[in-house]
Amino acid sequence: MKNIIANDVTIAYDRLGKGSPLVLIHGFPLDHTSWNEVAPLLEDKFDVILPDLRGFGQSTNVESIYSISDMAHDIASLLDNLGIEKTALAGHSMGGYVALAFAKKYPNRVSALGLVSSQAPADAPEGKERRYKTAAEVFEKGVAVVADAMTPKLSADARVQTFARKAILGQSKSGVIGALKAMAEREDSTPILSAFSFPLVLIHGDADSLIPIERAKEIKTAVQSAQFVELKGAGHMPMMEFPKETAQGLKLLSN
């Protein structure tokens, strides 16, 4: 992986392919390797940029409190460093929250936006409380708490579960806690949806038990021009459960 320093944080990223830029932002609590099966299917069409968000993978841990918007700023700094002014970007779940925050902060830098298994609203009060409770448990017992709770909900596919469990156990406590707090405090992105002037692609599995497909349908209702790729039988990890179909959906971001 390569590195850049953005906002005093080292952001590690991979890059492959040729074409128009496409940033793929991973979900919680994973890293860029969650795109490993999809990225090679996109390299004929895109310059694919795969960052590790701060606190994950090979990017730096940040001990202070930070926001989803700070993570979006890291992506902007990465793009500045690469000399890319405008790009398509797609985020998986928490990566979608970052992509939405990016679109809010830098609407003129977005050529198209993809949301994979993600959603627009902020956490309800009880969800927010749950995040802080989980953060306290991770602080006390380590990231295995999250690996145990999340792995079975990510996918019914044993191969995907094995990958995800190992990936989660490889993350740091402070990265997991930082992201939990950032997600708990994130803004509701619903109000910005109708102002989007770029194409929006929604990719969602109908068997997603972490973020139900209804959340994507709500976005489709708010943005009627959005293209909706519904993956029958996919859980929360379509990029691993249905890589070909997910790549096809992401290719819509180049039109």
Q: Does residue 207 bind ligand MLT (CB under 6 A)?
A: no
Q: Which is nearer to ligand MLT, 6 or 183 (CB)?
A: 183
- Shortest approach of ligand MLT to residue 106 CB, angstroms? 21
Report the C-alpha gap between 211 and 117 in whole angstroms. 7
Neighbours of 206 (CB within 10 A): 13
- Shortest approach of ligand MLT to residue 249 CB, angstroms? 17
Report the C-alpha gap between 86 and 72 in whole angstroms. 14
Q: Does residue 27 bind ligand MLT (CB under 6 A)?
A: yes
Q: Does residue 69 bind ligand MLT (CB under 6 A)?
A: no
Q: Which is nearer to ligand MLT, 84 or 210 (CB)?
A: 210
Q: Which of residues 164-203 bind ligand MLT (CB under 6 A)?
A: 183
- Shortest approach of ligand MLT to residue 44 CB, angstroms? 28
Q: Which is nearer to ligand MLT, 71 or 183 (CB)?
A: 183
Interface pick for ligand MLT out of 94, 110, 201, 223 (rule CB under 6 A): 94
Q: Which is nearer to ligand MLT, 73 or 131 (CB)?
A: 131
HEC-encoded secondary structure of 147-192: HHHHHHHHCCCHHHHHHHHHHHHCCCHHHHHHHHHHHHCCCCCHHH
What six digits make up the tokens of 33? 């390797």
Which of 105, 85, 41, 47 is CA-nearest to residue 243? 41
Interface pick for ligand MLT out of 13, 28, 35, 102 (rule CB under 6 A): 28
CA 227 to chain CA centroid, Å, is 18
Q: Does residue 210 bind ligand MLT (CB under 6 A)?
A: yes
Q: Which is nearer to ligand MLT, 207 or 210 (CB)?
A: 210
How many residues sit close enough to ligand MLT to count as binding (CB under 6 A)?
Answer: 6
Q: Does residue 134 bind ligand MLT (CB under 6 A)?
A: no
Q: Does residue 222 bind ligand MLT (CB under 6 A)?
A: no
Interface pick for ligand MLT out of 60, 93, 161, 246 (rule CB under 6 A): 93
Residues near ligand MLT, by CB under 6 A: 27-28, 93-94, 183, 210
